[in-house]
Amino acid sequence: MESKKFLLQEKDIPTAWYNIVADMENKPLPPLDPATRQPLNPEALYPLLAEKLVQQEINMTDQWIEIPDEVRNLYKQWRPTPLVRANGLEKALDTPAHIYFKNESVSPVGSHKLNSALAQAYYCKQDGLTNITTETGAGQWGAAMAYAARAFGLELAVYMVKISYEQKPYRRSIMQTFGAQVIASPSMSTKAGRKILTENPTYMGSLGTAISEAVELALQTPNCKYVLGSVLNHVMLHQTVIGLEAEKQMEMAGEYPDVIVACFGGGSNFSGISFPFLRHNIKDGKTARIIAAEPSSCPKLTRGIFQYDFGDEVGYTPFIPMYTLGHTFAPPHIHAGGLRYHGAGSIVSQLKKDNLIEATDIKQLDAFKAAVLFANTESIIPAPESSHAIAAVIKEAEQAKIEGKQKTILFNLSGHGLIDMAAYDSYFAGDLLNYEMTDADLAKSIDTLEQII
Ligand SMILES: *Cc1c(COP(=O)(O)O)cnc(C)c1O
């Protein structure tokens, strides 16, 4: 348990986010207007998203985008976050690998999500808005957004995936503590929700449905826009503070990562930790392997197809170029709610297509087994999402042992699991299953996709 920490000071918080698109040889394909099938005019997004965020979304030229002082000052409440050498875990695995993790669980809401939530609330306030809407799966994004909305004096309505609303009541309580209104999705309050409930009255919801509802409410409410916690380019951008800090901390440790791992829902914490290092792969000839750990039950990067698809279930968003399981894919109700999303962001999808990153899939029971080992060796109870990264790291460390080779592994601990103990309870009770998707299951939703490219 004598794990060593590498700590930075307030002045070391990055002053700019890193925009990897500027350095990509093959840029992500543009989003398409579903009506015309032509590249979307960015101004078409202004009714939905804060203007500054749309500009960040489409910025392909500026490597560095300055972090506003107001946002950077709020980051100081918990940033810089620690980098930790996982000595305890290394010892338990008896591996020659050196394992480091960036601890994003120390934020006031317990996950990395606040890095983007504060930035998005700031730009919404700048746009003169009074209200914002969003969706949340397991509740981490909603909690972060509720905190950020409060910080900038905005009213927030959150559509929360119904299964999580019922399984994770305490995240709902956190959102309510910060003054947000929380609605279980699918709900009868929107056309999208009513349509889904009419077809399937017992549907327990998905991120895609909740997005449809939040978008619909934003478009119908004056002075109101929508914010999203993953998938979009500007979210990946804001999260790069994670990797930029980690870069300095790895230097303090006197090492450079050979392997970088993060769990993967829509890609924000993965992008956050990895893009600053991928920059050196692209520009300086470094060769770090970068691995996304996704759940076997929702395997968009390992088994999905690269295709234009909707970001939501009903089809309100533009067509986004992505690795997808099809927007109608309803993932099994695994406990890592934050990883239950049918697609991947367009930057990460392009990087995967160009083989600049890798992906691996992790079974639910392996994730929890890894979580318990991590808790007992590093004294932090990880979020079920983050546990997928830990399981992937353990595989790498075991491989290093077999090969008898030292390698340096860095992973992102995207959040703690203290509000997910019901999931741990189910695991200890033996109630959790592994969900393997059959090819037929996958084909069912993928085959409904229209061929656009
Ligand atoms: C939301 C969430 C994720 C998954 O989202 P990404 O955008 O893929 O990072 C992972 N871990 C935690 C703790 C989360 O809250």
Q: Which two tokens stand for residue 26?
A: 């093959």
Give the type of residue at 386: S
Closest residue by CA, ligand 1 atom 8: 265
For residue 385, the CA-to-ligand 1 centroid distance in Å is 6
Best of 234, 362, 385, 420 for a ligand 1 pocket test (most atoms within 8 Å of beta carbon): 385
- Buried (b) or exposed (e) across 228-267, using 16+ Cβ within 10 A? bbbbbbbbbbbbbbbbbbbbebbeebeeebbbbbbbbbbb
**Element (DSSP H or E) covering residue 324:** strand 319-324
Closest among 92, 410, 417, 89 to 249, alpha carbons compared: 410
Number of H helices, E strands in the chain: 18, 15
Residue nearest to atom 14 of ligand 1 (CA): 338
Ligand 1 pocket, residue 28 CB under 6 Å: no
Cβ-Cβ contacts under 8 Å for 161 (sequence gap 6 or more): 135, 136, 137, 138, 185, 204, 205, 206, 207, 209, 210, 337, 340
Nearest atom (ligand 1) to Cα of 235: 7
Q: Is 274 in the pocket of ligand 1 (CB under 6 A)?
A: no
- SS3 label, residue 232: coil
Per-residue pLDDT in tens (0 to 9) along the chain, 453 residues: 578 999 999 999 999 999 999 999 999 999 999 899 999 999 999 999 999 999 999 999 999 999 999 999 999 999 999 999 999 999 999 999 999 999 999 999 999 999 999 999 999 999 999 999 999 988 999 999 999 999 999 999 999 999 889 988 899 999 999 999 999 999 999 999 999 999 999 999 888 789 899 999 999 999 999 999 999 999 999 999 999 999 999 999 999 999 999 999 999 999 999 999 999 999 999 999 999 999 999 999 999 999 999 988 788 889 999 999 999 887 777 777 778 788 999 999 999 999 999 999 999 999 999 999 999 999 999 999 999 999 999 999 999 999 999 999 999 999 999 999 999 999 999 999 888 788 888 888 888 887 776
Quick one: DSSP state of residue 111?
Answer: B
Q: Among the atoms of ligand 1, which is closest to the Cα of residue 113?
A: 15
Residue 105 alpha carbon, nearest atom of ligand 1:
13
| Long-range contacts from 68-71, C-beta under 8 angstroms, 24+ separation | 68/119, 68/122, 70/122, 71/118, 71/119, 71/122
The verdict on the CB of residue 414 being under 6 Å from ligand 1 is: yes
Confidence (pLDDT) at 41: 94
For residue 383 and ligand 1, the question of a CB distance below 6 A is answered with yes
- The model's pLDDT over 211-232, given as tens digits with 9 standing for 90+, comes to 899 999 999 999 999 999 999 9
* Nearest in space to 181 (alpha carbons), one of 207, 152, 154, 212: 154
- From 3, 18, 7, select the one nearest 249 (Cα to Cα): 7
- Grouping H, G, I as helix, E, B as strand and the rest as coil, residue 49 is coil
Distance in Å, CA 268 to ligand 1 centroid: 7
Ligand 1 pocket: which of 104, 235, 263, 323 to mutate (most atoms within 8 A of CB) = 263
Report the SS3 class of residue 295: strand
**Strand, coil or helix: what is 206?**
coil
Is the CB of 95 within 6 Å of ligand 1?
Answer: no
What is the separation of C-alpha 111 from the centre of its chain, rounded to a whole number of angstroms? 10
Which of 106, 109, 113 should be mutated for ligand 1, with most atoms under 8 A from CB?
Answer: 113
Encode pLDDT of 321-370 as tens digits.
999 999 988 777 777 777 878 899 999 999 999 999 999 999 999 999 99
> Does the N-terminal peptide bond of residue 80 adopt cis geometry, omega within 30 degrees of 0?
yes
**With contact defined as beta carbons under 8 Å apart, do 307 and 452 qualify?**
yes
Determine the Cα–Cα distance for residues 98 and 385; give it in Å rounded to an integer. 22
Q: How far apart are CA 14 and CA 441, in angstroms?
A: 44
Which residues does residue 413 pair with via DSSP β-bridges, in sequence order? 103
End-to-end CA gap in the chain: 52
| Contact present, 138 and 160 (Cβ < 8 Å) | no
Residue with tokens 């109630």: 431
Separation of alpha carbons 301 and 78, rounded Å: 32
Quick check: helix, strand or coil at residue 260? strand
Atom of ligand 1 minimally distant from the CA of 386: 11
Peptide bond into 186 cis (omega under 30): yes
Q: At what angle do helices 140-151 and 114-126 cross, to 10 degrees?
A: 40
Residue nearest to atom 7 of ligand 1 (CA): 268
Q: Residue written as tokens 């000839």? A: 285
The verdict on the CB of residue 301 being under 6 Å from ligand 1 is: no
| Atom 13 of ligand 1: nearest residue by CA position | 415
- Beta carbon of 364 within 6 Å of any ligand 1 atom: no
**Closest Cα to atom 1 of ligand 1:** 338
CA triple 162-414-419, angle to 5 deg: 45
